[in-house]
Amino acid sequence: MNILLVDPPFQIFMGFHRYYYPLGLGYIAAVLNKSGHNAKIYDAEHSPECKSLNWLDASNSYHLYLKALNGEGRAEWSDFSALLNRFRPQLVGLSALSVKVPVVMRLAALCKQFDRTIKVVVGGDHATIAPQELLASENIDFAVRGEGEYTLLELVRYLNEGKKGYDQIEGLSYKKNGLVVHNKPRDLINDLDALPTPAIESLFTPETYRPIDLGIMMTSRGCPYSCTYCGVANTWSRRVRERSIDNVISEIKMLKEKYGVTYFSFRDASFTLNRKRVAELCERLTAEKLNVSWECLTRLDLLDDDLIPRMKAGGCVTIRIGIESGNEKLLNKMRRKTNLDQIREAARMLHKHNVYWTAYFMFGVPGETRETIEDSLRLITEIDPPFVTIARYSLIPGTEMYEEVKRLGLVSERVDWALESNQSLFKSYSAHLDHKEFEILMEKAAERVVAHNEKHAVMIKKDDRVKA
């Protein structure tokens, strides 16, 4: 069966270059192709002509995404239709991140306009939590909830064999006699080593990707923490499953040898959760003289004075840390389980070991005020990260904070998902700040952060000890 897996366009409309290919679709394509199907990945966010934008520039360009949803003057829609004509898929799988829901709806309609017999399947974060919303569209046939590899494989087998009824396919939602049916959830994949290596070769025009774009990896799935705004557990659960170190090293070697990748981005939710495992990985990277560098995302309370130098010795050049706020009450409200003293201590350690790190801050959560925004900006100055990334809180279905926002009456029943991006300045979900005031505060905050980052960029160029 010809299967087209699509990461829908969003950031590309703003001229934003997104690093890395869609890893989740790479896993799904690998599983399908291993079973004899012809799965191809259309990464509609990929364009070598786009450039990286800072948060303020991306926000100022956000209106271009909203304009593109009207379909006027954009090649992305006609390009997709032309691809359907060339590839002739029997099934199209659309990855449904919440902010991309309007795009998913449009692409699904284009599929059915081209050929009513194409089966349209949605998966990803939004499909996992809100399948009924997506299946309300006449152009969407199925929703895959949770980990999608084996649910989609089973659905394809049913379709290929012409089987009637889908009630035995775990993790699937679909329409039957005008009603939406949700089958029982599928068990999590326990043995991640059993998954084939993501199918980079299934990308359209893989030759247009840089080696760094192909260096994205996950060495585990799941996160045990319960931050109220985060949707990671919606798909991966709070139970952490790990790949073996041998399996991880094997993929690193393959990517380096086959695609020339020497820089890797580990996208585990909390990479250093298992300190012993991270230390073992670093030892293997050193012992096998792979001569690669890498970055990871983790929590500040999962770092210590022993682990950081081990990570550096193993090739770590960037650690990305979610701090979120400089206000203790908001940190508690987010259930971060960290406090300002811990943040200061982590910053001290990172500076001591001269490691490049990025701090993430989020604004506009319920309870945010002019004063709490200033608290965060003061903390940035105090802990002085080499790079700061800021975001506007955006709704994620299935999270505790999303339910709080609904209880407070700060969102309507019909959410405009096109506005639910952390790059959008249009609204705050705090009762203390109206939208216009929040927008002005965020523009000023973004200007301060841009200046902060530019100052550090100049300093780093003068300091050969730090390699970003």
End-to-end CA distance of the chain: 44
Give the largest CA-CA distance in the chain.
67
Residue 214 has pLDDT above 50, yes or no: yes
Percent of the chain with pLDDT strictly greater than 90: 86
Cβ burial of 66 (10 Å; 0-12, 13-18, 19+) is middle
**CATH at 320:** 3.20.20.70
Task: Tell me: do 100 and 48 sit in the same domain.
Answer: yes
Q: What is the mean pLDDT of residues 58-75?
A: 84
What b/e string do you get for 77-99 counting C-beta neighbours within 10 Å, with b at 16 or more?
beebeebbeeeebbbbbbbbbbb
Q: Which domain holds residue 323?
A: 210-462
Residue 22 CB: number of other CB atoms within 10 A? 25
pLDDT cut 70: percent of the chain above it:
97
Residue 135, in any domain of the structure: yes
Predicted confidence (pLDDT) per residue in 73-82, tens digit = 678 899 999 9
Task: Enter the tokens of residue 382.
Answer: 């105090």
**Domains contained in the chain, number:** 2
Pairing of strands 356-363, 179-182: unpaired
The reply to whether 309 falls in a domain is: yes
**Nearest by Cα to 248 from 309, 300, 298, 292:** 292
Q: Give the pTM.
A: 0.95
Domain match, 251 and 330 both = yes
State the pLDDT confidence band at 326, using cuts at 50, 70 and 90: very high
Closest by Cα among 424, 438, 421 to 368: 438
Beta carbons of 127 and 145 less than 8 angstroms apart: yes
Q: Which residues contact 135 (CB under 8 A, 6 or more apart)?
A: 142, 143, 173, 174, 175, 180
Q: Give the pairing type, strands 316-324 and 356-363.
A: parallel
- As given in the structure block, the two tokens for residue 314 are 């193993």
**Whether 131 and 238 share a structural domain:** no
Tokens of 58: 């991306």
- The answer to whether position 193 is within a domain reads no
Do 308 and 391 belong to one domain? Answer: yes
Compute the distance between CA of residue 313 and CA of residue 338 in angstroms, rounded to an integer. Answer: 27
In a domain, 171, yes or no: yes
Phi/psi zone of residue 177: left (φ > 0), alpha (ψ -120 to 50 degrees), beta?
left
| Residue 15: per-residue pLDDT | 87
Q: Of 166, 182, 198, which one is at a domain's C-terminal end?
A: 182
For residue 200, tell me if it sits in a domain. Answer: no
Cα–Cα distance for residue pair 113/378, rounded to 1 Å: 53
State pLDDT tens for residues 139-165: 999 999 999 999 999 999 999 998 888
Instruction: With respect to residue 188, please indicate whether it lies within any of the assigned structural domains.
Output: no
Would 204 be classed as within a structural domain?
Answer: no
CA–CA distances in Å: residue 361 to residues 372, 385, 389: 12, 11, 6
Number of Cβ atoms within 10 Å of the Cβ of 103: 26
Question: Which pLDDT score is estimated for 465?
Answer: 35
**CATH number, residue 79:** 3.40.50.280
Claim to verify: residue 165 and residue 238 sit in the same structural domain: no
| 171 & 226 share domain | no
